[in-house]
Amino acid sequence: MDFRLTEDQRNLRDVIRDYLDKEHGPEVLRRLDEGERRDPAIWAGLVEMGIAGLLVPENHGGLEMGLIEAVLVATELGRANVSESIADTALIAAPLLAGDRQEALAAGELRVALAHPINPWIADLANADMVLTGGKTIAAPEQCEALESVDPLRLLYTPMSADADDALLDRAALITAAQLLGAGERMLDLATEYAKMREQFGQPIGSFQAIKHHLASVAVKLEFARPLIWRAAYAAQHGHARAPIHISHAKVAATDAAVFAAETAIQVHGAMGYTYEVDLHFWMKRAWALAGAWGDRAFHRQRVDEAVLGGTLPITPDQTFASE
């Protein structure tokens, strides 16, 4: 029992974070929003960093890492508001594909869209090379209709038939939870920086206790969502029977933390938070979008509710890490 990231895991996180801080700042989001919204150079950079092949076995050209590493990277993608379909392709679909496809995927030559009945849309379908649904891959359609998300950098399409697949749903919900956590962390950072700089009544607003307490409450929410995501990743990686419950729990906690971070961050920013000029809005919109993706709060709460209040899950204090 050692509930810490390994040195390798910390290095991975830091390397990705540093890269994205340098290459994928708010100015990139603005450029994408005013342009084509996807940029092959960004994709290439993420592939270059090894993210495409993160979960692909070494003999297929990947890094053969696991779900812990995947949620760490997903958190960084959320923190940087990356919108390329790298999370869907590399962190969700990759292990569910056949070996030859994994090879192309690790090389950055394959983009996979994910179709599941829980979502009324398919993300990034137009530029996908194939679609994963119901446990198999099918060709992407010639034509599809674009939907408009509140998040300008999200590309959603409809309609296309989708078949259920629990493994896909669980993995996708976990990776989405990690992205929500990252978005929440970034919003706390943005609001904290703003509170240090913005002055009213002759002093930084961050010196007012009301602002301090708002931001402290966000910090608490985020701090206690994080280990839920890590445990869920570990349990899923190790095939624990209760992993789906842990994933649902993590998705609920990450959603609540991110939405709370968004509402608090805009309150701290005041009217400025309401503008396109400050960067906050990109993350708020992503949080609102991901809140309902891959199972909304109601869906995931219900899964936990059935297990816990329904009595199917043993809940004595010694069961925290149980595998059954």
Q: What does the binding site for a copy of itself look like in residue numbers (CB under 8 A)?
A: 208-210, 213
**Six token digits for residue 71:** 């949620």
**Six token digits for residue 160:** 């296309």
Does 288 sit near other proteins (CB under 8 A)? yes
Other Cβ atoms closer than 10 A to 157:
21
Largest CA distance in the chain: 63
Report how far residue 171's alpha carbon sits from residue 251's, in angstroms, rounded to the nearest whole number: 11
Q: Report the residue number, 105 or 265, with the smaller CB distance to other proteins.
A: 265
Report how far residue 90's alpha carbon sits from residue 224's, in angstroms, rounded to the nearest whole number: 27
Question: Footprint of other proteins on residues 100-159 (CB under 8 A)?
Answer: 118-121, 147-152, 154, 156, 158
From candidates 123, 172, 228, 236, binder to other proteins by CB under 8 A = 228
Q: Report the residue number, 139 or 309, with the smaller CB distance to other proteins.
A: 309
Q: Report the residue number, 167 or 220, with the smaller CB distance to other proteins.
A: 220
Please report where in the chains the tokens 């960067």 appear, as a residue.
Answer: 279
Build a one-symbol-per-residue string for 154-183: x at contacts with other proteins by CB under 8 A, - elsewhere: x-x-x-------------------------
Does 276 sit near other proteins (CB under 8 A)? yes
Total residues at interface with other proteins (CB under 8 A) = 95
Report which residue type is found at 109. E
Q: Report the residue number, 206 or 244, with the smaller CB distance to a copy of itself.
A: 206
Does 315 sit near other proteins (CB under 8 A)? yes
Report how far residue 161's alpha carbon sits from residue 178's, in angstroms, rounded to the nearest whole number: 27
Nearest distance in Å: CB 209, a copy of itself: 4
From 148, 152, 155, 179, select the one nearest 291 (Cα to Cα): 179
Question: Footprint of other proteins on residues 51-90 (CB under 8 A)?
Answer: 68
Does 297 sit near other proteins (CB under 8 A)? yes
Report which residue type is found at 132. L
Type and span of the H or E element at 200: strand 199-200
Instruction: Give DSSP secondary structure letters for 47-58.
Output: HHTT-TTTTS-G
User: Considering CB distances under 5 to 8 angstroms, the limit depending on partner class, which of other proteins, a copy of itself, none binds residue 139?
Assistant: none
Nearest distance in Å: CB 25, a copy of itself: 34
